[in-house]
Each structure stands twice: as structure tokens, then as C-alpha cells.
A and B are shown apart, each in its own frame.
Chain A
Amino acid sequence: MVSYFTDPLQYEFMKRALIEVILMGAVTGAVGAYIVLRGLAFIGDALSHAIFPGIVIAFLLGRSIFAGALLFGVLTSAAIAVVATNRRVKEDSAIGVMFAGTFALGVVLISSSRNFTRDLASFLFGNVLGVTTSDIWLSAIVGGIVLLLMVLLYKELLITSFDRVAAQAMGLPVFWLDLLLLVLISLTIVVSLRAVGNILVVAMLVTPAAAARMLTDRMPVMIALSAGIGVLSGVLGLFVSYHADVAAGGTIVLVATAIFGLVWLFAPGHGFVASQLLRARLARSSAPETKVLFESPEIQSPGPH
């Protein structure tokens, strides 16, 4: 059992991959809490697609793909935040147009690369086993900045998410806080690219946080639990994928989905089983009266014997 986890770690690439998925799981889980509570899943998906051409351009120019992703992430965040202030454009339509367009741009650009198929696959689905030490440093620094900002601006992000009008009335710069949140999501996506890739990152942004929401009614606890579920999914997924010899990114997301399913079924209070039990208990407690009626001889006797 122990060797299931220790054996793979004799390889340096697995040690690096393990650190990378832990970083990715913690940051996606923590930021995911806000994505789930504010209904930003679609925007998260859009951002991850919009970042794609940034990665491709940086890759083709031989520059850091993190820098390219970051630049496009911030630009797209700003575009979304500005578009959202105009009432005449339906927000989701605008986002849909923008992210499909930018993603197509990325695909066209990368098709000029000689190793088209391999490169495309590693961007889209991640390549955690190919993580380098400098990748890890970048993930740690960017992820650390994201978590630090979340802690420092906890009050402001909380009230802007919960009661936007009151936040405005208190004089908080709601537009800039919205933009900051989008930038934090972009940074998180950048951190996740190596581990799960461009397509599956939205699952890591949504699934652990949605599971955590069912387990608690407290915001700080939800953020911590969500980060924990993200890390657990990353670690378990990595080892399962090693032993089963399947893609790490997809396995990590499948583990997160399985955890979500278990929580949905068995969460105390909010879970499916718990609510069914509650319903059964309520039915039982109101049953005796009904029973007496049905067992009374006036009702049962008329049958001919």
C-alpha cells in the first residue's frame, strides 16, 4: 500500500509532478470557491480558452508561455469586465464570441508549428510529467501571489461577492475588485496549464469548490476544504495515472469528479442520502396517526371472510 505512493517517487520527474499538482490543486481549489459562489464557471472556461493564443504566440516566439498566458489573461479579463458594464451587450453572448474567436486564433497559429499534434495536445491536456524545476518555481510564485492576495483582500472580495450594492455603497472600487478576481482566475489557469491543461482546468476550478460548498456553511472553511479537495484530487490522480499508465490530467479531473459524486451522495445535511433519510424520518414521525386510521376495524372489517 505504502509502496503504491513511494515507488513512483524514486523518479525525479514524479517528484516534480507531485509538487506541481499540489500547487495546482491548492490554488485552483481556493480561487474556485469564488467562481462557484459567483457563478463564474462560464467565465473561467472562457478565460482558459482566451489564454490559449497567448501561450501559442509565446511558444512560437520561444518566449515564456507563462508570460504569454498572463498577458492574454489580463487583457481578456479587462475586456470582459468592460463589456459587462455595457447593458446593451448580453454578457454571455459577448464572452462566447470572444473566447471561441481567440481559441480559434490559437489553433490556427499552432498549426504552423512543425510538431503541431504533440504541442497542441500538451497545451490542451497538460503534461505534468514533463514539468521542469523552473516551471515549479513559477507555479509556486504565481500561486503564492494569488493566495496572498486572496488573504489580504478577503473582506473586500467577500462583500463584493455577497452584497454588491452594499459594497458599492461603502465606496469599494467594485469594478477593480471584479477585474482583480478575473486576473486571479487567469493566474490560476496559468498555474494549472502544466498539470491539467487548457481544456480541463475549468473542472479543477469548479468541481472541488462545488463539493466543498456542500460540506460547510462558512466561507473560510469552504475555501480551505476546496483547496484540500483540489490537492487530494491532484495527488491521487497522479499516482493512479502512474500505475494505470493513463494521462495524468484527465485522471486528476476524474478523481475530483469522483470526490464530488461521493460528497453529493453522502454530505451530512446537504447530501442526497442525508436528505432522503431526513425525509423518511419525517414521514415516519407523521405516520402513526395515519396508521391508526387504516387499521381501525371499521375500515378493514367489511371484507367478506
Chain B
Amino acid sequence: MTMTDTLPRTLDHEDCLVIRDLTVAYQRKVVLKGVQADIRRGQVIGVIGPNGGGKSTLLKAILGIAPVISGKITLFGRPVSEMRSHLAYVPQREVVDWDFPVTVGDVVMMGRYPRHRWLRRPGRADREVVERMLARVDMLEHKDAQIGQLSGGQQQRVFIARALAQEADVLLLDEPMNGIDAATQEVVLQVIEEQRLAGNIVLLATHDLVSASCACDCLCCVNERMVSYGPLTETYTASNLAATYGGPVIMLAPATGAQPAHTHHAGDHAHHEHVHENLGMDHRDG
């Protein structure tokens, strides 16, 4: 990991999301500090750590909606605040009012809103993108359904379609694996792989270590500070996970030594099952 104290290194970072000395604090309480990362196009980063460790906070800091008190974040060499239209975000499902009278199609169309700021109305091209993204997550037949009628997994797919409709360069997913069915999990993993192949950056905040190890190139381990950042070979180890979660991680099978995720490709289904069987593990909360 290269460390820079001097500012003008923009040339090197023109295809990177760069985070330097990031500290986030709500009121006076520091919730996340010391985050350093250089994320290249086509990289998938798993953000892991205990509840309240700052996973969501890191994503929100990148989006510019968490109070950053020091440090800087640049995307493709420019401050991230100028690059918001290049970021697409899938929030946790709990933050949304599912009783709201909007249809699946309406929600995905919201992903097109940043392109038509103020007074403009979406057009035919936007409706085509909406239909394409709904088809991508296998939800086109539910286009006119009210969102409250969907299952948890279907709701998650609609949110992913909305993020895809933004056609952004960076995809930020906050706990997309929470309470979803196997089919949706497969869609999420496929979408992540497609983003990687398209040369986009993906940040996946999750407490699901299995899917993190399947889908990601690097892990960013946070527990109120950045504990470690690096490729799976260095970070997906028993000692590092123990350091991240503040105690021994309960593993159903040992993670050290194995490291099959290092060479795998996320599209490889048989391999997923293999990883599930051998690396099925969980961590202690808190």
C-alpha cells in the first residue's frame, strides 16, 4: 500500500478511488478513523467488521453523507463531492418505508433522477434502461407491483436494479445479503462480478464472511478504526479476523491455509458451494 502525505499525486490516481487518513465522527464521538485505501477500477472490496464497527459509516463517508472531520476521498483524481453522479448506492432495506405508494418501476426510475436534475422529466431512453435493469435482476414481471407486496429478496433486487440504472462507476452495497433468498444472493453475486468485468469499483459492506470471501478481491476490515486492508491472502486469515472482531472468530472450518477464494472467479457456481462447505464460519456479535 502506497502512502502519500503530499497532495498532488492525481496522475497516479486517475483510475482509482483513493481514501486518505479518513476520520468520521458523529457529534464528538469518533466512529471510524485511520482509513487508507487505493481501490482500482475492476476491484471488489469487502468491508467487514462487527456491528457498529463502521462498515455503513465508511460507505456513507464515500457518498458524502457522513460527517468526515479529517482526511480526503478522491475518485478518478477529483474530490468525491464533485463525483456523486458516478456513485450508486444500495442502502440497507430497513431505512425505507415499504408502505409508500410507489411501484417497482417507479423505484428503479429513481436511479435515473440524478441525470435529470430539477424540473426535467424522465424520457423513453430512461424507461428502456429501467426495463433492462429490471430484467437483469429478474423482476420485470413485477414492474407494476407496489413495493410493499414484494418479498425481502425481491425488494433487494429492486434496489440493485435502481443502483444499476444509475450507470455509475462505483457501486456501494450496504448489507445486501441480509434476509434474502438463495436466488437473490446469486443475483447479487452475479451483478458484482459483472461490475468487476465492466471495470467498475464495488464496495460490499457485509457481516457475511462467506459471501465476502467469494465475491471480493480485497477486504477492508474495520472496527472503529481500520484494522487492515489488503488482498484476501493477507486479510482473510484467522488472526486478522480475530483482530477485527475483537476476539476469536468462531469458525466451522479453519480459514488459514485454505484460501481457495484467492484464485476463484465469482461466476463459478460450483466453487461457491465449495467455499460455503469449507469456510462456513460466523463471528461473535459485539
For A165, give its contact among B65, B100, B113, B146 (CB under 8 Å).
B65
Output the least CB separation between B86 and chain A (Å).
Answer: 11
* Alpha-carbon separation in the docked complex, A213 to B99 (Å): 10
**Are A161 and B100 in touch, CB under 8 angstroms?**
yes
Interface residues of B in 52-95 (CB under 8 A from A): 60, 63-65, 84-85, 87, 89, 91, 95
- Asked if A217 is at the interface (CB within 8 A of a chain B CB), the reply is yes
Mask: chain B, 128-167; 1 = CB below 8 Å from A; 0 = not: 0000000000000000001000000000000000100000
In the complex, what residues of A have CB within 8 A of residue B87's CB?
169
- Asked if A257 is at the interface (CB within 8 A of a chain B CB), the reply is no
For B100, give its contact among A37, A155, A169, A170 (CB under 8 Å).
A37
**Are B103 and A169 in touch, CB under 8 angstroms?**
no
| Given A152-B119, A170-B113, A213-B101: A163 touches B64 (CB 8 Å cut-off) | no
- Asked if A55 is at the interface (CB within 8 A of a chain B CB), the reply is no
Output the least CB separation between B64 and chain A (Å).
Answer: 7
- Asked if B27 is at the interface (CB within 8 A of a chain A CB), the reply is yes
Output the least CB separation between B27 and chain A (Å).
Answer: 7
**Are B91 and A165 in touch, CB under 8 angstroms?**
yes
* Alpha-carbon separation in the docked complex, A162 to B107 (Å): 9
In the complex, what residues of B have CB within 8 A of residue A217's CB?
101, 103, 146
**Are B65 and A219 in touch, CB under 8 angstroms?**
no
**Are B101 and A222 in touch, CB under 8 angstroms?**
yes
- Asked if A297 is at the interface (CB within 8 A of a chain B CB), the reply is no
In the complex, what residues of B have CB within 8 A of residue A216's CB?
101
- Inter-chain contact total with CB atoms closer than 8 Å: 72
**Are B101 and A155 in touch, CB under 8 angstroms?**
no
Interface residues of B in 98-131 (CB under 8 A from A): 100-103, 106-107, 110, 113-114, 116, 118-119, 121
* Alpha-carbon separation in the docked complex, A169 to B95 (Å): 13
Output the least CB separation between A108 and chain B (Å).
Answer: 38
Output the least CB separation between B81 and chain A (Å).
Answer: 8
Output the least CB separation between A146 and chain B (Å).
Answer: 16
Mask: chain A, 161-178; 1 = CB below 8 Å from B; 0 = not: 111111011110000000
Output the least CB separation between B227 and chain A (Å).
Answer: 26
| Given A159-B110, A165-B65, A165-B91: A87 touches B101 (CB 8 Å cut-off) | no
| Given A152-B119, A171-B114: A166 touches B97 (CB 8 Å cut-off) | no
Output the least CB separation between A177 and chain B (Å).
Answer: 11
For A166, give its contact among B89, B106, B119, B121 (CB under 8 Å).
B89
In the complex, what residues of A have CB within 8 A of residue B100's CB?
37, 161-162, 219
A216 closest partner in B (C-beta): B101
Interface residues of B (CB under 8 A from A): 27, 60, 63-65, 84-85, 87, 89, 91, 95-97, 100-103, 106-107, 110, 113-114, 116, 118-119, 121, 146, 162
In the complex, what residues of B have CB within 8 A of residue A291's CB?
none
Mask: chain A, 10-46; 1 = CB below 8 Å from B; 0 = not: 0000000000000000000000000001000000000
* Alpha-carbon separation in the docked complex, A166 to B118 (Å): 16
Mask: chain A, 136-164; 1 = CB below 8 Å from B; 0 = not: 00000000000000001101101101111
In the complex, what residues of A have CB within 8 A of residue B110's CB?
155, 158-159, 162-163, 166
* Alpha-carbon separation in the docked complex, A169 to B100 (Å): 20
In the complex, what residues of A have CB within 8 A of residue B64's CB?
169, 171
For B102, give its contact among A87, A156, A168, A219 (CB under 8 Å).
A219
A171 closest partner in B (C-beta): B84
For B96, give its contact among A162, A221, A222 (CB under 8 Å).
A162
* Alpha-carbon separation in the docked complex, A164 to B95 (Å): 8
* Alpha-carbon separation in the docked complex, A217 to B105 (Å): 13
Output the least CB separation between A230 and chain B (Å).
Answer: 17
* Alpha-carbon separation in the docked complex, A287 to B64 (Å): 57
Most buried by A among B65, B89, B91, B114: B65
A164 closest partner in B (C-beta): B95
B66 closest partner in A (C-beta): A168
* Alpha-carbon separation in the docked complex, A155 to B118 (Å): 8
* Alpha-carbon separation in the docked complex, A165 to B56 (Å): 12
Output the least CB separation between A183 and chain B (Å).
Answer: 17
- Asked if A218 is at the interface (CB within 8 A of a chain B CB), the reply is yes
List the 7 closest pairs (A to B, CB-CB), nearest first.
Answer: A217-B146, A171-B84, A169-B89, A169-B63, A168-B65, A165-B91, A162-B100
In the complex, what residues of B have CB within 8 A of residue A165's CB?
60, 65, 89, 91, 95
Additional A-B contact list (14), CB under 8 Å, known A152-B118, A155-B113, A219-B101: A87-B27, A155-B116, A158-B102, A158-B106, A162-B102, A164-B95, A165-B89, A169-B64, A170-B113, A217-B103, A218-B101, A219-B100, A221-B101, A222-B101
A219 closest partner in B (C-beta): B101
Output the least CB separation between B142 and chain A (Å).
Answer: 13
**Are B95 and A219 in touch, CB under 8 angstroms?**
no
B88 closest partner in A (C-beta): A169
In the complex, what residues of A have CB within 8 A of residue B102's CB?
158, 162, 218-219
For A162, give its contact among B97, B118, B119 (CB under 8 Å).
B97
In the complex, what residues of A have CB within 8 A of residue B84's CB?
169-171
